[in-house]
């Protein structure tokens, strides 16, 4: 499978068919979450939390065995996702690339 990428506000998401990689580069990503990369095999993902971007941020968040789930109050979830190491936030114009990755991950599970 070809690698699919999506650039978000607080990081970049890559999917190669077997694992996802969250890459944190740039000032905003490093200041909110910290720099570096995190890879998660698709076989270990237990859930994918999704919020569409509207007037505010959308996000995709991954839960896997051993991860700590960060849940905010209703309405504050995108704000909490900005600081979650297992989530990438995005704006409306970035959403189609994240929808494609989400569909590919669900097909691979």
pLDDT digits (tens, 9 = 90+) for 82-95: 778 899 999 999 99
Judge contact between 60 and 50, C-beta under 8 A.
Answer: yes
Tokens linked to 74: 């209703």
pTM for this predicted structure: 0.83
Q: What is the pLDDT of residues 25-67, one digit of tens each?
A: 876 666 666 678 889 999 999 989 999 998 889 999 998 876 5
| Domain ranges, ordered by start, for the chain | 4-108
> Which CATH class, in words, describes the domain spanning 4-108?
mainly beta
CA atoms within 13 A on the CB side of 30: 5
């Amino acid at each position: 499978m070809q690698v699919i990428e999506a650039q978000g506000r607080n990081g970049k998401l890559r999917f190669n068919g077997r694992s996802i990689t969250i890459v944190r580069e740039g000032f905003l990503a490093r200041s909110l979450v910290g720099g570096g990369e995190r890879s998660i095999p698709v076989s270990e993902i237990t859930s994918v939390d999704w919020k569409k971007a509207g007037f505010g941020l959308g996000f995709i968040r991954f839960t896997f065995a051993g991860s700590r789930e960060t849940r905010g109050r209703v309405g504050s979830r995108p704000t909490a996702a900005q600081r979650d190491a297992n989530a990438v936030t995005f704006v409306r114009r970035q959403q189609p690339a994240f929808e494609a990755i989400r569909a590919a991950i669900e097909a691979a599970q």
